[in-house]
Amino acid sequence: MHLVKAFSKINLFLDIVKKRDDGYHDILTIFQSINLYDEIKFTESESLSLQITDKTIPLDSSNTVAKAFNIFSENFEERGGKRQNFDIHIKKNTPSGSGMGGGSADGAATLRFLNYYHNEPFSDREIEEMALKVGSDVVFLLKGGLAKAEGLGEKLEYFNYPEFEKYHIAVIYPNVHISTKWAYENYAKYLTNVQKYYNINSLKKDFSEFIGSLKYSHNVFENLVYYYYPRLREIKERLDEKSPILSMMTGSGSAIFALFEDEESLEGIQKEFGGNNVIFTTPITQRRINDEILTKL
């Protein structure tokens, strides 16, 4: 039996560059992995089975783990390999529909595990190509860490700031599921002429400039989501009162996070936001993810 950790993410910045001819959107974002993960157990079996603690998640071929397994296995069989089935059990810790990439992380972790299990028949580039077929942010979640992402989210430039792990994040998930498809179809109706300027090139300078620049960050989906879900705007405004480095919705919602330099700033948040799913976590580097992702039981 193997235990695999599927680390989730937040977006520290998110903008849409343009709508593509294929109907999808080119984005510009900053992904940051966080020390929150789903636990996936793989046990060798005669047939494939999938169990998830969150009963709202479908178990059919649309599931990201099932999709990742099928894509990998088909490619492996084309190489002359023999498909190995597993009993797969997923303990969900990342809220579904939160914008934290939980499902995508599960798919990414599945691809990494299968390549490891079969003695790495595929290169990193080949696994990334499979990941893009599973979902746009699955490519980043294969390795995680901190990265600027462009295109569909698959064009990545990684950065390494180990000192970021000392910072603290409070995530408030109000148990609201927001459709990503709906958000992309409607965001443009709620754009304002005044967007906070954010220089994404600050990533390339030094850690202090990167942290300082985050106060100018924004998420292009916030105006839309807060209009239809005013409760989320209220959560963000209440987090802002605690003077975080950054508070923002992640992805297309609905989780809202606040980033703090010191742990003391988290005091009282659990009580104040009772009734929501409150998660305390930290940023995590690519190196730590690599060290911790896989355990043989």
| Catalytic residue numbers, as ranges | 9, 137
- Residue 95 DSSP code: P
End-to-end CA distance of the chain: 5
- Residue 219 DSSP code: B
The answer to whether 116 and 294 are in contact (CB under 8 A) is: yes
Assess whether the previous peptide bond of 61 is cis (omega < 30° from 0): no
The answer to whether 234 and 225 are in contact (CB under 8 A) is: no
Question: How far apart are alpha carbons 254 and 122 in whole angstroms?
Answer: 35
Residue 281's CB is within 10 A of a number of other CB atoms, namely 17
The answer to whether 160 and 203 are in contact (CB under 8 A) is: no
Using alpha carbons, select from 252, 102, 259 the residue that is nearest to residue 171.
259
Which residue type, as a one-letter code, is found at position 26?
D
Residues sharing a CB contact under 8 Å with residue 262, sequence separation 6 or more, in sequence order: 168
- Output the six-digit token pair for 76: 């492996």
Give the H/E segment covering residue 76: helix 64-78
Q: Give the burial class of 40: count Cβ atoms within 10 A of its Cβ; 0-12 exposed, 13-18 middle, 19 or more buried.
A: buried
